[in-house]
Structure 1
Amino acid sequence: MDALFNPYYVDIVVFLIIYILLGLGLNLITGYAGQVSLGHGAFFGIGAYASGILSVKAGLNPWLAIALAIVITFVISAVLGLPSLRVREDFLAITTLGLGLIIQSYFKNSELTGGAYGLDSIPGLSFFGIEMKNVGYLLFVLIMLLVGIYALRKMTRSRIGRAWMVIREDETVAASMGINTTYYKVLVFAIGGAYAGAAGALFAHKVSFLSADSFGFTVSATVLSMVVIGGLGSIRGTLFGVSLLYLLPELFRLFDLQMFDMKYLDMYKMMFYGLLMVLVMRYRPKGIFGQTGIKMKPRGKGGGGRA
């Protein structure tokens, strides 16, 4: 049991769950609503810094700081989602990339975030005076993940989710059907950002130190790779994609494979991600567990139906 709950292994699982939450938010934006985002790492950073600043500089209870950080990220993500109303596809991807770089630059230069020195001394969580470490924190993030998956399933199977999927398939058709595309596109950015904000807040109270370098384009590109490989518009696809690509480098460290030089692990990782992306895009364009579109239910013997 001691080996099973080794702090190193527990931390790996904790950060894996945090990245799954981050991936679920991006899959909601890109997979279900079809809005390509290359700045999701910025939402991750907003949640982390919001919770860290509220607990360190404002002196709020960490639990309250996490809740407020999710709300703050929800609101800011809705505002940052406004460009999606004017641009689409490749132009939207470039726009979100630019927004992500602007926000990271703010993290690096603002006194509020600690600038280049970062933000440290972020308090951990405690429950009835007992500090949540190791397994305790693991259980908490696991509960957060289960709640996040449950909420995502409910949303995507509701009228809101169906509206998102119609917008993904053809925004013009969605508008002609009376769907308020403006409302639903801003809403999906807000909710997807809230998921990233929750992941960021959990990350902040786990590591206790934040640096702007932790929320750059590399994070956004990595999470997008995870989501695309696992499957767009699929919760199990996100679980699979994030787990596969996050745990693979850890396996290299765990087994200390002699054929690989560990100091070049990041380079090997990105090479593998790129190769896997090419293969998946060639043979499974929607990802391993991706949804190919809106399913049609037949009506009577003659078939037909509607979304």
Structure 2
Amino acid sequence: MSLLDFINPYYIDILIFLVINILLGLGLNLTTGFAGQVSLGHAAFYGIGAYTSAILSANYGVNVWISMLIAVVVTFLLGALLGLPSLRLRDDFLAITTLGLGLVAHSFFNNSQLTGGAYGINSIPAPLFFGIEVENVGYLLFVVLALIAAIYIMRKITRSRIGRAWVTIREDETVAQSMGINTMYYKVLAFAIGAAFAGVAGALFAHKIYFVNADSFTFTTSATILSMIVIGGLGSIRGTLLGVTLLYTIPELFHIFDVGNLLNLNYLDNYKMILYGLLMVLVMRYSPKGLIDIKNIKTKKINPAVKSGDQNVGS
């Protein structure tokens, strides 16, 4: 009997889905946090990645590893295409547009014959490594390696000329244009790369649960991931890691410690959204840059000698 026999598969699944959510959060933080392109339809790319890999592998017998790679390429290209509205839209208008795109994608997933309609796609194969199915601890190691690679890529990109261009566009697009930055190229690139990260998460999700349908890619999914990265800290990789880990694991603790006597776990999703909403209000009030910046909060002390109306206006 090995050590693996004593590991509860439920805990392994929690870690796997945590990593998948972190990948999803990294993609959205790249688009919204670094490039300043607000997206309320990130779940659409998550679903595109999942359905692409599921359809290719389950319906057409494509090798799982190849189907995953194709899913990433497809989400990258569609991300660039769907990112085109960001060229003429900003702030609230862009957010509403991406929300609409997300709703359209969900409707397509739920009604198209290609995606199996409301029944979804089942019998999705697991990836094979030298003829052995990659599952449980093996799948956890695989997703962790994918996360490490994603963090490395994101650090390289955000610290490069591309990342500096994104930050400039986020702060002031007019200034960025006056500096000769091709804002059209960089804004579309931000959507494309962010979508590719979501595509990776979607493909990993599909081959973990062996079944996908539209219920996993709703507006609630987009709002949840956005809440996680805002609470953790926009424009920060560490903020994404902190925010997603905190907000994903807290609801799971309700199951682990069996609080069914205190809370009706049938309404856990409602409790989660209430919790996320309260945390967002508190974070925006006391630490606008997210929990990652909470250590820099300082109590402001007002000099009693300086009162309203006593300042030397002419100085």
Candidates 8, 11, 19, aligned match of 1:9: 11
**Which amino acid is 1:262 matched to?**
L
SS in 1 for 2:292: coil
Runs of 4+ displaced beyond 4 Å: none
Candidates 95, 100, 114, aligned match of 1:98: 100
Task: Give, in whole Å, the separation in 2 of the partners of 1:261 and 1:245.
Answer: 19
Q: Alpha-carbon deviations, 1:213-270, whole Å to 9, x = none?
A: 1001000000000000000000010000000010011101111123212112111111
**Which amino acid is 1:59 matched to?**
G
Task: Give, in whole Å, the separation in 1 of the partners of 2:289 and 2:113.
Answer: 42
Query: Normalising by the residue count of structure 2, what TM-score does the alignment of the two structures yield?
Result: 0.91
Correspondence 1:24-103 to 2 at 5 A: 24-103=26-105
Q: Taking every aligned residue pair, what percent have the same amino acid on both sides?
A: 68
Contact 1:45 1:197 in 2 (8 A): yes
1:128 equivalenced with 2:130 (yes/no): yes
The structural deviation recorded for 1:289 is 2.0
Contact 1:78 1:190 in 2 (8 A): yes
1:181 equivalenced with 2:180 (yes/no): no
Map of 2:276 onto structure 1: 273
**Which amino acid is 1:212 matched to?**
A
Contact 1:234 1:290 in 2 (8 A): no
The structural deviation recorded for 1:5 is 2.4
Larger radius of gyration between Structure 1 and Structure 2: 2
Task: Give, in whole Å, the separation in 2 of the partners of 1:7 and 1:207.
Answer: 13
Q: Alpha-carbon deviations, 1:244-299, whole Å to 9, x = none?
A: 010011101111123212112111111111100100111111212269xxxxxxxx
Query: Normalising by the residue count of structure 1, what TM-score does the alignment of the two structures yield?
Result: 0.93
Task: Give, in whole Å, the separation in 2 of the partners of 1:286 and 1:38.
Answer: 19
Candidates 247, 250, 254, aligned match of 1:248: 250
**Unmatched 5+ stretches in structure 1:** 292-307
Task: Give, in whole Å, the separation in 2 of the partners of 1:115 and 1:245.
Answer: 31
Contact 1:37 1:93 in 2 (8 A): yes
The number of equivalent residue pairs is 291
Task: Give, in whole Å, the separation in 1 of the partners of 2:265 and 2:58.
Answer: 35
**Which amino acid is 1:211 matched to?**
N
Task: Give, in whole Å, the separation in 2 of the partners of 1:2 and 1:164.
Answer: 44
Contact 1:124 1:131 in 2 (8 A): yes
CA RMSD after TM alignment: 1.2
Q: Alpha-carbon deviations, 1:143-195, whole Å to 9, x = none?
A: 00000000000000000000000000000000000000000000000000000
Is the alpha carbon distance of 1:4 and 1:28 closer, same or farther for their aligned partners in structure 2, counting shifts above 3 Å? farther
**Which amino acid is 1:266 matched to?**
D
